[in-house]
């Protein structure tokens, strides 16, 4: 799959005519900002189902300003998408956050779910997924990953398999009265059941404890095609706990959702659950086999949403025809969920409430200093709490840190880690020397930026709406000088991307980390190894040196200073001419790393997924095998 290059900006006039503009944000009245009469907001966020094809077994969470989505891949790779808008998931770049080559659990990845739970080291994301062996589905079983920090995109470390020696799928967590449970599905004879068990921690079952059957397919609507109940999902509200599940064979158009409610205190006691006698979400004349759902809450926290897969034809079944759909649901007066019917394809759906802000949130992702090439000072926000204008200041570990968070079409929003706001052009001005400032997110084009290759390893940062770059006023080298929107001829519009702190370099192709392993640089599954942690150090230009230890004399470079594609990359003396690299952002939040001397990018040899696949310099083909995502490893 070819990674799209960042698209060129059209002129401001074309953007104004074709796309509208964006709202203004006055610093003194941010919560009641008034829009200029001649400027409209960005696209409304309205979407239609299906969101995109081949979206079986979806799981979706909204967290820290972004939607995160996984769906079944049937491959050896765990793919995640993210977007600040629900509609944006349709075109979001799929990023592999984990892959496996272990023959016992390498293949047929199904039904990923990621849950934020409190583990031994605090809150982490726990990714539970089904995997098995190549060429057979007879050994499918649940596996669990743990995130390094609070970013759903990882990195992830493999923690273990719950029941590796028996067939079990569709795992889901239940938290109740301070205890953690897993609910999973298993065949017993010709019947597929949902079963619950208590857990010691998010990846380990409690030893010598019973497993309790929660659902047995016995009603007419549960046994179409085969006797199946699977895909249990938990929904909790106002102290009540519900469990939806998918019933009947997925290869029929009658796959549907049923409902249980926990009416007692003990989830392990089947008598403490009540099964509702009728399905709660079923086929229509236009949507078939709706099921394997998940739940999420709108950005403003006021709406409940259902995500599920379905088919457009009665002939379609358990294949890649299942497509991703989402819709809002409500609650009955008696406190039970009211899911309604699957929405007809093509019907316009308003976006979840609060999606267009105003939003103040700490976006997850790698932090960067954006260092002006002329002044060598960092892009920042004024330290005066009454002033939200962009300025340049001395780079420090406590300020001037930005997350380059992907939006759409290769653009990003610049999220400030200090005030949890976003960089914008004030009043969506298209004028030279227009004020640039920090503001709550309102999903406007004047809050989006293109980060593109500049001069001598640097980048330019250009506003999506105006088509004009950031630059330092008057090319001043003074601290607290304003950073403004200027014309493309400005001499001070070059910036260095300088990653802050220790960094893990994760392959978009494999989800594995670049590792200085023994006498070579290879990819390995992330495992908190010192050799998987990199420090970026600036040079005399926009290029950077990469080290595994800050004081080391060894840097990432090309062996013997070779200039040809395929030359091996290893740790070399930092004085070598091939020991400097340029970061080049690509669509979806990844980076390509280009060598300063050879001008060739890093890449995975043969696009391999295997442990210890070699890292080399390659021809510039802009493939996902040459894209790496910078992640915080602690």
Q: Model confidence over 77-89: pLDDT tens digits?
A: 999 999 999 999 9
Does the residue 431 lie in any domain? yes
Number of domains composing the chain: 3
Q: What range defines the domain where residue 377 resides?
A: 12-42+357-498
* Burial grade of 277 (CB within 10 A; 0-12, 13-18, 19 or more): exposed
For residue 342, pLDDT over 60 is answered with yes
Distance CA(479)–CA(393), nearest Å, equals 5
- Which tokens in the block code for residue 437? 């400032």
* H-helix or E-strand spanning residue 12: helix 12-19
Q: What is the CATH number of the domain that holds 149?
A: 2.115.10.20
Q: Judge if 51 and 38 occupy the same domain.
A: no
Does the residue 7 lie in any domain? no
* H-helix or E-strand spanning residue 18: helix 12-19
- The more confident residue out of 446 and 396 is 446
Does the residue 2 lie in any domain? no
What is the per-residue pLDDT for 553?
96
Q: Judge if 232 and 214 occupy the same domain.
A: yes
For residue 67, pLDDT over 60 is answered with yes
Q: Model confidence over 481-522: pLDDT tens digits?
A: 999 999 988 889 999 999 999 999 999 999 999 999 987 999
Q: Judge if 337 and 195 occupy the same domain.
A: yes
User: 3-class secondary structure for 512-539?
Assistant: CEEEEECCEEEEECCCCCHHHCEEEEEC
Does the residue 163 lie in any domain? yes
SS3 451: strand
What is the per-residue pLDDT for 42?
62
Q: Judge if 481 and 338 occupy the same domain.
A: no
The pLDDT mean for the chain works out to 92
What is the per-residue pLDDT for 4?
37
Q: Judge if 508 and 492 occupy the same domain.
A: no
What is the per-residue pLDDT for 421?
97
Q: Judge if 192 and 341 occupy the same domain.
A: yes
Q: What is the CATH number of the domain that holds 538?
A: 2.80.10.50
Last residue of a domain, one of 349, 376, 395: 349
For residue 5, pLDDT over 60 is answered with no
Q: Judge if 283 and 169 occupy the same domain.
A: yes
CA geometry: angle 511, 513, 514, nearest 5 deg: 135
Q: Judge if 252 and 171 occupy the same domain.
A: yes
Last residue of a domain, one of 349, 366, 382: 349
Does the residue 1 lie in any domain? no
Q: Model confidence over 553-612: pLDDT tens digits?
A: 999 999 999 999 999 999 999 999 999 999 999 999 999 999 999 999 999 999 999 999
Q: Judge if 471 and 485 occupy the same domain.
A: yes
Q: Judge if 167 and 273 occupy the same domain.
A: yes
Does the residue 4 lie in any domain? no
Q: Model confidence over 23-52: pLDDT tens digits?
A: 333 333 333 333 333 344 466 799 999 999
pTM of the full structure: 0.93
Last residue of a domain, one of 315, 349, 383: 349
Is beta strand 483-485 parallel, antiparallel or unpaired with respect to 449-453? unpaired
Q: Judge if 366 and 304 occupy the same domain.
A: no
User: Stretch 280-306: mean pLDDT, rounded?
Assistant: 98
Quick one: which of 492, 444, 488 has its CA closest to 471?
492
What is the per-residue pLDDT for 40?
44
């Amino acid at each position: 799959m070819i990674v799209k290059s960042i698209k060129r900006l059209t002129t401001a006039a074309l953007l104004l005519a074709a796309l509208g503009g964006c709202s203004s944000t006055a610093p003194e009245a941010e919560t009641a900002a008034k829009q200029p009469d001649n400027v409209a907001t960005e696209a409304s966020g309205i979407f239609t189902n299906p969101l995109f094809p081949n979206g079986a077994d979806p799981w979706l969470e909204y967290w820290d300003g972004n939607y995160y989505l996984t769906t079944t891949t049937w491959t050896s790779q765990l793919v995640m998408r993210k977007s600040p808008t629900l509609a944006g998931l349709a075109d979001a770049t799929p990023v592999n956050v984990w892959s496996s080559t272990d023959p016992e659990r390498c293949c047929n990845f199904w039904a990923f779910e990621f849950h934020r739970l409190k583990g031994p080291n605090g809150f982490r994301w726990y990714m539970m997924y089904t995997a098995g062996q190549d060429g057979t589905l007879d050994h499918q079983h649940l596996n669990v990953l743990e995130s390094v920090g609070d970013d759903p995109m990882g990195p992830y470390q493999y923690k273990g398999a719950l029941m590796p020696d028996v067939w079990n799928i569709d795992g889901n967590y239940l938290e109740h009265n301070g205890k953690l449970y897993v609910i999973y599905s298993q065949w017993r004879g010709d019947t597929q059941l949902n079963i619950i068990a208590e857990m010691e921690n998010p990846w380990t079952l409690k030893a010598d404890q019973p497993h309790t059957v929660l659902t047995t397919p016995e009603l007419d609507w549960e046994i179409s095609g085969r006797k199946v109940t699977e895909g249990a999902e938990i929904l909790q509200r106002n102290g009540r706990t519900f469990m939806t599940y998918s019933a009947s064979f997925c290869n029929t158009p009658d796959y549907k959702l049923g409902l249980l409610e926990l009416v007692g205190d003990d989830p392990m006691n089947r008598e403490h659950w009540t099964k509702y006698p009728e399905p709660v979400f079923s086929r229509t004349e236009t949507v078939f086999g709706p099921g394997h759902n998940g739940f999420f809450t709108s950005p403003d926290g006021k709406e409940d949403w259902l995500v599920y897969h379905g088919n457009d034809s009665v002939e379609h079944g358990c294949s890649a025809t299942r497509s991703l759909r989402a819709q809002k649901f409500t609650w009955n007066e008696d406190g039970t969920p009211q899911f309604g019917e699957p929405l007809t394809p093509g019907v316009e759906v308003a976006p979840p409430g609060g999606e267009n802000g105003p939003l103040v949130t700490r976006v997850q992702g790698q932090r960067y200093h954006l260092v002006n090439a002329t002044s060598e000072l960092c892009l920042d926000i004024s330290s005066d709490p009454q002033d939200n204008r962009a300025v340049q200041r001395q780079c420090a570990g406590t300020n001037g840190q930005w997350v380059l968070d992907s939006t759409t079409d290769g653009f990003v929003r610049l999220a400030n880690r200090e005030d949890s706001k976003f960089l914008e052009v004030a009043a969506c001005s298209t004028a030279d020397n227009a004020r640039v400032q920090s503001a709550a997110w309102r999903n406007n084009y004047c809050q989006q930026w293109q980060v593109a290759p500049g001069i001598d390893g640097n980048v330019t940062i250009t506003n999506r709406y105006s088509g004009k770059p950031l630059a330092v006023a008057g090319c001043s080298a003074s601290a607290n000088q304003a950073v403004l929107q200027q014309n493309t001829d400005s001499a001070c519009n070059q910036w260095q991307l300088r990653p802050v702190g220790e960094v893990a370099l994760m392959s978009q192709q494999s989800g594995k980390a670049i590792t200085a392993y023994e006498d070579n640089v290879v990819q390995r599954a992330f495992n908190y190894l010192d050799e998987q942690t990199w420090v970026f150090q600036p040079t005399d230009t926009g290029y950077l040196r990469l080290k595994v230890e800050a004081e080391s004399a060894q840097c990432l470079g090309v062996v013997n200073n070779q200039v040809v594609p395929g030359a091996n990359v290893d740790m070399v003396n930092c004085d070598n001419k091939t020991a400097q690299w340029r970061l080049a952002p690509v669509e979806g939040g990844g980076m390509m790393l280009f060598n300063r001397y050879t001008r060739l990018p890093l890449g995975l040899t043969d696009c391999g997924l295997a442990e210890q696949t070699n890292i080399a310099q390659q021809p510039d083909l802009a493939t996902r095998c040459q894209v790496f995502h910078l992640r915080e490893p602690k």
